[in-house]
């Protein structure tokens, strides 16, 4: 466990199944780091796509990267409440102050209203063929999607507004200290 990372900026890299870089976030401030998760917060992070196009995140977010389960969740802090965007992805690892994971395209979004939407099923089907996902991998990813949907319905971690609000408050406190 790298507790020295807490309060430090770290970059984030998303890869495709074949190891090619998919997307890069320039920074996230580490709020927690334990055996199960690394949690970072961002505000106006620069996101660079593999084609060189870049953009900046619109709202602040707390992102929870699971180190053991096949997901990561971006908790977007919006004016009307917290919106959750869960990527079905490999467990995350940390290498040289960079969080790394493989993005498997299947995503689920939970809106503040409680409405849930599964995203990118066609992209997943296409990439399953392109990257030749094994039946075992497909089973893990589909199981994880079911697990994530249940967690969303039950509003358990990482889909807990109060916990995310506490983490975001910690981010604001750390940012004030850095100013």
Catalytic residue numbers read 23
Do residues 23 and 14 make contact, with C-beta atoms less than 8 angstroms apart? yes
Cα separations in angstroms, 121 against 54, 108, 151, 158 = 24, 10, 19, 22
Question: Which helix H or strand E contains 26, and what residues bound it?
Answer: strand 21-33
User: Which 3 state secondary structure label does DSSP give 32?
Assistant: strand
Task: In whole angstroms, give the CA distance from residue 156 to residue 163.
Answer: 10
User: Which 3 state secondary structure label does DSSP give 164?
Assistant: helix
What is the bridge-based pairing of β-strands 37-42 and 61-66? antiparallel
Task: In whole angstroms, give the CA distance from residue 43 to residue 128.
Answer: 33
Nearest to 74 by CA among 23, 39, 116: 39
Task: In whole angstroms, give the CA distance from residue 47 to residue 21.
Answer: 13
């Amino acid at each position: 466990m790298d507790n020295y990372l807490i309060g430090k900026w770290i970059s984030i890299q998303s890869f495709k199944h074949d190891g090619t870089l998919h997307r890069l976030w320039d920074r996230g401030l580490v709020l927690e780091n334990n055996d199960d998760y690394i949690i970072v917060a961002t505000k106006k992070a620069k996101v660079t796509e593999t084609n060189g196009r870049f953009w900046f995140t619109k709202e602040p977010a707390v992102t929870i990267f699971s180190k053991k389960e096949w997901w990561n969740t971006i908790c977007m802090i919006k004016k009307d409440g917290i919106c959750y965007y869960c990527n079905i992805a490999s467990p995350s690892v940390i290498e040289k102050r960079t969080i790394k994971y493989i993005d498997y395209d299947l995503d689920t979004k939970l809106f503040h209203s409680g409405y849930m939407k599964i995203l990118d099923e066609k992209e997943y089907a296409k990439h399953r063929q392109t990257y030749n996902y094994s039946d075992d991998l497909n089973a893990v990813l589909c199981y994880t999607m079911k697990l994530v949907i249940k967690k969303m319905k039950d509003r358990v971690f990482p889909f807990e507004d109060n916990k995310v609000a506490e983490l975001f408050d910690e981010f604001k406190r750390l940012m004030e200290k850095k100013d």
